[in-house]
Structure 1
Amino acid sequence: MAPVILVTFAGREARMEILTRYVRAAMADGLIDEWHVWDFTRSDSDHQWVTREFGPARYMGHAVGYQPCGTISRRAPLRLEALISNDLHLAILPKDDQETLYEVVVGGWNNQQSVIRKVSRERLNDADRSDATMTWARLTPSVLSPGRANDIILSVDGTGTPELTVNGVVLGRWPEISLSAGADVMIRGGWGAALELCHVNEPVRRYVGNPGEQLPYFQAYQYYAERLADFADALFLKCDDDIVYMDLDGLAGFIDHRRKNPRYFVTSANVVNNGVCAYFQQVSGALPASLGHFERPPGGFGGTLWTDPDKANNLHDFFLATPKKEFPLPSKVVDWQERQSINFIAWLGRDLQHMALARGDDEKMLTVDLPAFLERPTAIYSDFTVSHLSFGPQEEGVDVNRLIAAYDKLMREKLAL
């Protein structure tokens, strides 16, 4: 069966911990095969949490700082499969020297030269290396192959001497560097070269986008579109990091409907706190008038729910008090021709051929521009319910801590934790 891959743009720790429990339960049940967590964090504390929680990095943009990739010792070399065209950087941090690191640049200077620099650890992610000590340099023309995953082996012999082999060629051996106590190793790309570690195939893995990008999500769509051959048979789910309830009993039906209905470009779950979904939920009678009027957002965008935190608070409270945890739509599937929020959507891997998105509004591209160009509708599937915590305009007034505590309690009841 074609794999089901969930993509999440991470991430805020306080808002994502509930989602993490649901997703891991779905993976344990065999509903989701892989979880690709894209690190688009905006704070160092959130970045550190994502790094700890979601395992090894599979991919990192060219401007991403060093990421952990393993250890070396006299007993165990470090083996990597690195897809990169130039400027592979390895940081070797000796376990018996907490002040120093050795930076190995493989295929720098347009894949023509390799060097080792001795650097203080506090300068690990500094761009300026002008005061670093160059301890070794060698001309290495075309050492990295852009057409394959490069085999990298970093080993330490019985005397503590490190040796680096690239694609079967010994790049260097350095007796002047002692790693008799072993070392931690970190890795990154650089100078325009993104890095993919092809040996990282854990079911849950990280993808690290370039930091500081405005509207950074295009990086993820382009990654998958450029690898169409690898993902054409997959089914993709994409959810926000602040999904705080997921109806696992309805997820299989959502996935099955998505597989069997290729005419839709994207299909949305039935989302609590989503303007278009709320409109249809009230049309069906699931949301009483006492909660307020949930109008059809103009063109599918904005509307009073999107901007009104009190309305969002009341809607969440009503959902939490509803025994069945469902707000049925007027029909099992609602065809839609306008914009909608992409809090939890699904698409078919074959459609990645259309998804090399430019930098910009990915929601508009996925639910308006591409469906119009391809003459394919989008849809909302009634029988799979998720709850979305908040939109940006709601932030100042939504009672985040109280709602997270309530949804955490619900999650523990549903998952019998």
Structure 2
Amino acid sequence: MAPVILVTFAGRQKRMEILTRYIQAAMDAGIIDEWHVWDFTRSQQDHEWVTCQFGPIRYMGSAALYQSAGSAAPNQPLRLSATITNDFHIAIVPNDDGDEYFELVVGGWSNSHSVLRKLPRSALKNFDRDDAATVWSRPTPGVLSPGAANQIVLNIDAAGIPSLHVNNVVIGQWADLDLSAGASIMVRGGWGADLELGNVRSRIQRFVGNPNEHMPYWQAYDFYAKRLRTYSDSIFLKCDDDIVYMDIEKLSDFIEFRRTNPKYVLVSANVVNNGVCAHWQQMAGSIPEQVGEFERPPGGFGGSLWQSAERANDLHDFFLKTDSKHLPLPSKVIEWKERQSINFIAWLGKDLVHMALPKGDDERALTVDLPELLDRPTAIFSDFTVSHLSFGPQENGLALDRLINAYDELMRSAIAV
């Protein structure tokens, strides 16, 4: 059976904690096989939470800062499988509580040289190396292979002397370094080189995109599109980090519909607090007029719900009071040829051949431009319901704490926690 991979663009802790419980329940039930958590956080606090909560690290954009990769100690080497073309950075942080660490740059300067530097630990948080002290350097032409995962072994012998092997070649040994107390190891790419670690076996994996991009999400689609051979048989789900309700019992039906209906480029869940879905929910009589009037958003984008905290509060309150936790659409499937919000969507791995998205608006690319190019519609699946907490314009005035508490209580009644 095709593996099911959930992709989430993380992550705001207060909103994402509820989603985490639902996903863990779905994984425990065998419905979802892997969860790929992409760190596109905007605050240091959220970044630290995602780093601690999810992992291990699987992929890093070239502008991402160091991430933990394990440890090494005498006669306990660290082994890594690293796909990278140049500038593989390894931070060796001694377990001596000192103020400095050692940085190995393997295949720097267009994969021509490698160096060892001694740096203050503050340099782990930046790329500034103007005052770096180089303690070792040698030519290493072609040390990193672009055609295979590079096998990296950082060894510390019984005397505490470290050495590095790359693809079974000894790159260096440093007798003047004493790592007899062991060291923590961190890694990153750099200078245009993304880094993928291939020895990650966890079902929950963490991906770190390049920071400070206004619309960074293309990075995730680009990652999967470049690995079409790996993922062509998979089924992908993508959900926002603020999905605060999920009908776990109907998730398998949603996945099966996605698998057996290849004519749709994307299939969306039936989403609470989604302009297009709210229109169809009201057309079916699932949302009474006293809750509000939910018009068809012009071209599928924006609309009064999208921009109104008051409307979002009223809709969430209505949904939370329903017994069924389901707002049916006029039919089991709504075919759609306009834009829609991609709060919870699914696509087939074989369609990654079309999904190397340009930088910019991934939602428009996936729901308007790509369906038009391929002459294939999208769809909304009525029988699988999720609830989406908020859009950006709704933030000012949303009863955030009250709604999160209510959805947390709903989650605890829906699944065993």
- What is the TM-score of this pair, normalised by structure 2? 0.99
**Cα deviation 1:110-133 (Å, max 9, x = unaligned):** 111111000011222332222222
- Alignment correspondent of 1:384: 384
- Alignment correspondent of 2:339: 339
- Alignment correspondent of 2:275: 275
- Alignment correspondent of 1:7: 7
5+ long unaligned stretches in structure 1: none
Partner secondary structure for residue 75 of structure 1: coil
- Alignment correspondent of 1:247: 247
* TM-align CA RMSD: 0.7
Q: CA deviation at 1:416?
A: 2.5
Partner secondary structure for residue 127 of structure 1: coil
Mapped partners of 2:403, 2:267: distance in 1: 27
Mapped partners of 1:224, 1:44: distance in 2: 27
Mapped partners of 2:26, 2:277: distance in 1: 24
- Alignment correspondent of 2:395: 395
Q: CA deviation at 1:98?
A: 2.6
Mapped partners of 1:107, 1:305: distance in 2: 52
Mapped partners of 2:127, 2:157: distance in 1: 31
Partner secondary structure for residue 365 of structure 2: helix
Q: CA deviation at 1:201?
A: 2.5
Partner secondary structure for residue 224 of structure 1: helix
Partner secondary structure for residue 229 of structure 1: helix
- Alignment correspondent of 2:415: 415
- Alignment correspondent of 2:125: 125
Q: Which amino acid aligns with 2:303?
A: G
- Alignment correspondent of 1:290: 290
Q: CA deviation at 1:97?
A: 3.7
- Alignment correspondent of 2:364: 364
Q: CA deviation at 1:99?
A: 0.9
**2:172 is aligned with 1:172:** yes
5+ long unaligned stretches in structure 2: none
Partner secondary structure for residue 304 of structure 1: coil
Mapped partners of 2:158, 2:61: distance in 1: 36
- Alignment correspondent of 2:28: 28
**Alignment: residue pair count:** 417
Partner secondary structure for residue 130 of structure 2: coil
Partner secondary structure for residue 63 of structure 1: coil
**Cα deviation 1:40-90 (Å, max 9, x = unaligned):** 001111111101111111110011110000000113110000000110000
**Cα deviation 1:83-105 (Å, max 9, x = unaligned):** 00110000000001431100000
Partner secondary structure for residue 16 of structure 1: helix
**Cα deviation 1:233-277 (Å, max 9, x = unaligned):** 000000000000000001000000000000000000000000010
Mapped partners of 2:64, 2:287: distance in 1: 45
Mapped partners of 1:307, 1:109: distance in 2: 49
**Cα deviation 1:299-355 (Å, max 9, x = unaligned):** 111111111111100110111111110001010111111111000000000000110
- Alignment correspondent of 1:314: 314
Mapped partners of 1:125, 1:314: distance in 2: 44
Residue pairs, 1:4-403, within 5 angstroms: 4-403=4-403
Partner secondary structure for residue 50 of structure 1: helix
Identity of aligned residues (%): 63
Moved more, 120-129 or 6-15: 120-129
Mapped partners of 1:153, 1:207: distance in 2: 22
Q: Using a 3 Å threshold, how does the CA distance of structure 1 residues 236 and 227 change in structure 2: closer, same or farther?
A: same
Partner secondary structure for residue 125 of structure 2: coil
Mapped partners of 2:76, 2:158: distance in 1: 11
